[in-house]
Amino acid sequence: MRKEELALKSHATRVELIEVAQGRRPADLFIKGGTVINVYSGEFLPQNVAIYKDRIAYIGNSEAAIGEHTRVIHAEGKYVSPGFIEPHAHPWVVYNPVSLTMKSLSSGTTTLVNDNLFFYLHMGASGFKAMLQDLRELPGNNLWLVRLVSQAEYPSERDEFNAGDVRSLLELEEVVGTAEITRWPLLYKGDPFVIDTIEYAKRLGKISDGHTAGCSYEKLNSIVAAGISACHEAITAQEALDRLRLGMWTTLRNSSLRPDFPEIMKLITENKVSTNRILLTTDGPHPAFIEEQGSVDGLLRIAVELGLTPMQAIQMATINPATFLGLDQEIGGIAPARRADVLILPNLVDFRPELVISAGTIVASKGQTLVSPPVIDWMKYVAKPAFTMERTLLQHPDLYRYPHTSSAEPVPVIYFQSNVITKKKDTELPVNNGYADLSKHPGLVMANLIDREGQWITKGIMERFAVDLDGMASTYNTTTQLLVIGRDAEAMAKAAARVHELGGGIVIVDRGEIIVEIPLPLAGMMTTDPEFHKAVEYQEVLLSELKKRGFPFHDILYTLLFLTCDFLPGLRLIPLGLYDVKAGGVIKPAAAIETERV
């Protein structure tokens, strides 16, 4: 179905639904003979389902709604399920909102609740609003959460995340609440802007999602008091239980970075808690994870394998998130007047739908989408140029070297303990012409975070990243500034200059030649390609080439993303400088670029 045909589908009125329910008006779609998964009562019922326009009109044994032009779907021996809901999506992990939506629809996820962070950073409020207007043509149900702060403090942050703009977004129909606040100490300390904005969202009847990684039970009390509605960061059954007991909607995560289900499902299989306030999420996994394991359908497969009943799992992926969002009268179940997001499941083992119906339209069959996405001109929403500095500035190798004047003074090295967790490792390094000499330390690489406007640079040295990397440059990171890493300053300069030419992306240079080039023009984070496989291809090439050069972990995208945040343990490169999260302060301030010896 073309988008023009999709747009012709209108909303059903209540009077029309009454008429269909009574057999006085024919249904558009009629699902006959299936077993309805009733997530409200927890029953499996042999019933028919009548759909008119975008809504469900009738569930029961009558066939009176079948008319001459009604399309009948025979579902004998199959299950009729509500569409799955992903309550915590990040539609910017190289893929974009269009490619993620289309991929998710093909496997039964009919509602995505998306984080707006990088769109807001590069589009501002007006550009983001314009994007949402155009995305209304997209099949599926796209909802949004808006950030109140970034994931790394920067000088103009409070001006850009201002009350007027943020509140104007919270008033939008597609926006269902505030997004996770990764820097949760702001909540613990009662930051006035954050608290006031959460209170404003509450007055609008909207939710406030949370992120409380590492937060103790005692401190969680303050976070809940601040108005946070949910958290997806528990990594043990006990942590999940703490959140559940304090009234938080508790979201269990299984993702590319954090495949937590085997441990965290013990909350249910061993603790035997009620599941009516428990949700499931993939939390923005890398593209290959979705390609290989699916979206919410993959979560259901694993949950049932680990001991949940199919009904429990489906409720946690449908009616529970709908109720959390305050939308259980619209989505999350099969009942009259609900949005007609319906799946035909051959079984309750692999949860791969045979048919996917979204708002009354059959959008996918056996894993293949049947509708076309809208053509989006992403760049028209962007308010900021990709770079305002001259490319020639990036071509000076000395820009990337680490200033060092005394071999007796240890250098604070960023040592990678895992994909995203680092620690400070003081290391003595020799000096060569005023810079740290890494020639006798093969495990070390230089790392620089450079302002896209050319105002400042944060410098560091890293260990256990990729020991044989000549040069890499990437705007894919939580600040979307230019991150440049490597052992060879000439290669680093070439990679950085090429990313500048691309207007954002990731480039690797080896022995003077560009060997990887990934254009990410949308916020420096996303391909504009509507095909999901392009994001998968980019990610797999990047990981493969870095593994060849010594990268020891499994999720390069999240390593790059979180190296520049200020909320995970260890040393970080942020716009303010080299930041020690544990100590809570900058140990080497960012330098003005004009003072660098370039």
Tens of pLDDT along 467-477? 999 999 999 99
Cα 196 from Cα 187, distance rounded (Å):
11
For the chain, give the mean pLDDT.
Answer: 96
Tens of pLDDT along 485-526? 999 999 999 999 999 999 999 999 999 999 999 999 999 999
Average pLDDT rounded to a whole number, residues 531-555:
98
Say whether pLDDT at 595 is over 90: no
Select the more confidently predicted residue: 176 or 407: 176
Closest CA to 469 of 448, 484, 449: 484
Cα 560 from Cα 508, distance rounded (Å):
14
- Which pLDDT does position 3 carry in this prediction? 38
Cα 310 from Cα 308, distance rounded (Å):
6
* Torsion angle of C-alpha atoms 383, 386, 391, 397, degrees rounded to 10: 130
Question: Would you say 303 and 351 are in contact if contact means Cβ atoms under 8 Å apart?
Answer: no
DSSP secondary structure code for residue 526 in this structure: B
Tokens 């539609």 sit at which residue?
91
Tens of pLDDT along 15-70? 999 999 999 999 999 999 999 999 999 999 999 999 999 999 999 999 999 999 99
What percent of the chain has a predicted confidence (pLDDT) above 90?
97
Say whether pLDDT at 596 is over 80: no
- Which pLDDT does position 1 carry in this prediction? 40
Cα 88 from Cα 211, distance rounded (Å):
11
- Which pLDDT does position 206 carry in this prediction? 98
Tens of pLDDT along 433-465? 999 999 999 999 999 999 999 999 999 999 999
Say whether pLDDT at 8 is over 50: no
Residue 2 CB neighbours (<10 A): 9
φ, ψ of residue 219 in degrees (nearest 5): -75, -30
Say whether pLDDT at 10 is over 80: no
Q: 92: burial class by Cβ within 10 Å (0-12, 13-18, 19+)?
A: buried
Closest CA to 112 of 295, 336, 303: 295
Size of the chain, expressed as the number of residues it contains: 598
What percent of the chain has a predicted confidence (pLDDT) above 70?
98
Tens of pLDDT along 339-387? 999 999 999 999 999 999 999 999 999 999 999 999 999 999 999 899 9
> H/E element holding 141?
strand 141-146
Closest CA to 475 of 523, 527, 509: 523
| CA-atom Rg of the chain in angstroms | 25
Question: Would you say 524 and 494 are in contact if contact means Cβ atoms under 8 Å apart?
Answer: no
Tokens 């007047």 sit at which residue?
337
Tens of pLDDT along 271-311? 999 999 999 999 999 999 999 999 999 999 999 999 999 99
- Which pLDDT does position 594 carry in this prediction? 73
Cα 467 from Cα 423, distance rounded (Å):
17
- Which pLDDT does position 175 carry in this prediction? 98
According to DSSP, the β-strands at 577-580 and 585-589 are antiparallel
φ, ψ of residue 506 in degrees (nearest 5): -135, 130
What end-to-end distance do the CA atoms of the chain give, in Å? 56
Average pLDDT rounded to a whole number, residues 215-219:
97
> What's the pTM?
0.96
Per the DSSP assignment, residues forming a β-bridge with 416 are: 422
Average pLDDT rounded to a whole number, residues 233-262:
97
Cα 391 from Cα 406, distance rounded (Å):
32
Q: 288: burial class by Cβ within 10 Å (0-12, 13-18, 19+)?
A: middle
Question: Would you say 121 and 480 are in contact if contact means Cβ atoms under 8 Å apart?
Answer: yes
Closest CA to 585 of 597, 598, 576: 576
DSSP secondary structure code for residue 293 in this structure: H
- Which pLDDT does position 5 carry in this prediction? 38
Question: Would you say 157 and 165 are in contact if contact means Cβ atoms under 8 Å apart?
Answer: no
- Which pLDDT does position 481 carry in this prediction? 98
